[in-house]
Structure formats: structure tokens, C-alpha cells
Structure 1
Amino acid sequence: MDLAQHDDRTGEPTARPTSVTVSVDDPLRPDVVALLQDHLDDMHATSPAESVHALDPSALTAPALTFWTARTSDGTLLGTVALKELHPTGGELKSMRTAPAARGRGIGTVLLDTALAEATARGYRTVHLETGTHDFFAPAHRLYTRAGFVSCGPFGDYRPDPHSAYFRLDLAPATAG
């Protein structure tokens, strides 16, 4: 997939499109660990510790999780997402993160589409996610709402928390092709 780079102030293209590849990856790669640490740091800066539900890189290697990265053709890390199986018909998005230099270029949409395509292929009927409630998380809320997610109550092991927003997407069954 090719994504154009844009000036954050004007929205004008600044460079030729960048080729992006999304693939299953190792969350313990050094560049991934660094991006996920930035993610954890931001979560702790915006929410109290008991409200931080982001996973550390080693937890993302669990068998119930599939972890993807988006990278440029030269291997530069652009973002991450994971899909965790909650039960046979439902999953949860985890560790959705776009590198600061790649924000506003559609990387989040590409990663989200990848995870949702996999959820559909697995036969999931729903995908849930938890994210923060502070202004820092407004771009994530917009991304999820555009994709059809709706606000819902806590799911799985989550409990009501003023620092957490919960979303659900009902998926259409996969069609034989």
C-alpha cells in the first residue's frame, strides 16, 4: 500500500508516497520494544497506574495474540497492533500505536483494517477495545468511530473506570469467495 507523506500544518503532500507493508512480527524486536515503551510511557502520563491496560512486549508474545507491524520498504517501523482472542467468537484489539513521525498518514487505518480482516477470517462476531478518555486519545476515538466501533461498557476482565473508554464492533460473517 502506498501512503503519501503530508505536512502536518497544511495537509499538502511533502514527498512521494511511501510503500507500507503490514505483517505478523516479533514484539521483542528492539525498534518495536522502543515504540511500545513510548506507548506505555504515554499511558502512564495520562492515566493512573491502575488504569493502564497496555501490555508490555513480552505479554504480546502470548499464544492468544497475533501481533503485526507496519513498516516502510526500508524496514522503518510505522506502527503496531495486536488481536487477542477473548473467546471463540470475539477478540480484543491491543497495542494499537502509530510512531509519532507516521501519524496522520493513514497507518492506524491500515493496521486496524488488517486486524479486523483477521478477526473476520477467524469467524469473530465482535471485536472490543479499551482506550483512554483524555484528550490525548481523541484521534484514536475518531479512528475507531469511523471504522464503525460504538461505545460500550466494560468487557472481559475490565471494570468501570473513568480513565477508560470501551468500544465494540459487530462484524459481518465472512463470505465464501
Structure 2
Amino acid sequence: MSGFSFHQDDLDSPDVQALLDSHFAQMRSNSPPDACHVLPIDGLRDAEVTLWSAREDGRLLGVGALKQLSPDHGEVKSMRTAPDALGRGVGRALLHHIIGEARRRGYRRLSLETGSTAPFAAALRLYAQEGFVPCGPFGGYADTPFTRFFTREI
């Protein structure tokens, strides 16, 4: 997307921390406790996880992360667009950036876990439009009525 820049491991930026705090709160309020798999900031600092922020003229537009599950399999984590940037294609741009990085790393598959209720409708549409297809649980996740799993060959 024109004008968007991506910054790796921007976890110490106050605006990133504020957006992630909001993301965590919304995920916890919209998800049953047994189906809420949002990574806290400490989890995003894990060596297997890389987080990017999307910015435009220095302003934070969104965040997204990639977690290595195995040498050829990655997981999309912590996708969130800032409220004032909704509808601008930020989520799609972040997802394309994550897919590109997964390819560069040699991953053959990219998977994700998300919710199934109304607050997740936009994310579900995006993932379907970008070629992710339903799959079973992976990476130790439990299958719940609330949880949806998707994967895509890359």
C-alpha cells in the first residue's frame, strides 16, 4: 500500500503498546477464556515471534506478527488496525507483509486462529479473500465452538 511503512519489533513504542493493550482487552472481552489465545506483550517478545507496525508519516496504523511453528510453518498473530485507520487496507497490507516474510523464511504454510462471532467478521472476510481455507486445530490449540482455524499454502 502506498505510503505505509513497516517497522520490525516496535514493541517499546508507547503507541504500539497502547494499541496492543486495546487489542488484548477487546480479545478478552469478545472471547471465552478457554478460546482466547491473544499473546501478551511478553509473548510477542519471544524469539519465535516477529511483530511489525504499519505506519504512515510516523503515525501508527496497525500491527501484526508472525510466529514460527516449525521450519516450514508459520502462524499469523496479533493482527490489529488502529481505530482511526479502519477501512484503509491496513490489515491487508500487514497480512501481505507477513506472507512475504513467511515466503522469505522458506515457510510452505501459514496458519491462523481467530474467533467466529460478529466482532471477527472483517478478519474472517480478509482471510478468506487472501486464500486462507478452514482447517483443523494446529499448534496445540483446542477446538471450541468459538474458534476458527485457517491455513494457506505459500
Is 1:145 aligned to 2:141, yes or no?
A: no
Distance (Å, rounded) in 2 between the aligned partners of 1:107 and 1:42:
19
Match of 1:59 in 2: 43
Normalising by the residue count of structure 1, what TM-score does the alignment of the two structures yield? 0.84
Q: 4+ residue runs of structure 1 moved beyond 6 angstroms?
A: none
Match of 1:70 in 2: 54
2:8 to 24, 27, 37: 24
5+ residue gaps, structure 2, are: none
CA contact (8 A) 1:64 1:85 kept: yes
Q: State the aligned residue count.
A: 154
2:113 to 130, 142, 151: 130
Distance (Å, rounded) in 1 between the aligned partners of 2:122 and 2:135:
18
**Larger RCO (alpha carbons 8 Å, 6+ apart):** 2
Match of 2:141 in 1: 158
CA-to-partner distance for each residue in 1:11-32, whole Å, 9 max, x for gaps?
A: xxxxxxxx21112132232111
Q: How does 1:64-103 map to 2 (within 5 A)?
A: 64-73=48-57, 75-103=58-86
SS at match of 2:42: helix
What percentage of residue pairs aligned between the two structures are identical? 47
Is 1:169 aligned to 2:144, yes or no?
A: no
5+ residue gaps, structure 1, are: 3-18, 172-177
CA-to-partner distance for each residue in 1:82-139, whole Å, 9 max, x for gaps?
A: 1000000100000000011111100011100000001011111100100111111000
Q: CA RMSD in A?
A: 1.0
CA-to-partner distance for each residue in 1:30-88, whole Å, 9 max, x for gaps?
A: 11111111111111111122211011112111111111000111x11100011000000
CA contact (8 A) 1:92 1:129 kept: yes
SS at match of 1:162: coil
CA contact (8 A) 1:28 1:57 kept: no
Match of 1:174 in 2: none
Is 1:45 aligned to 2:45, yes or no?
A: no
CA contact (8 A) 1:20 1:70 kept: yes
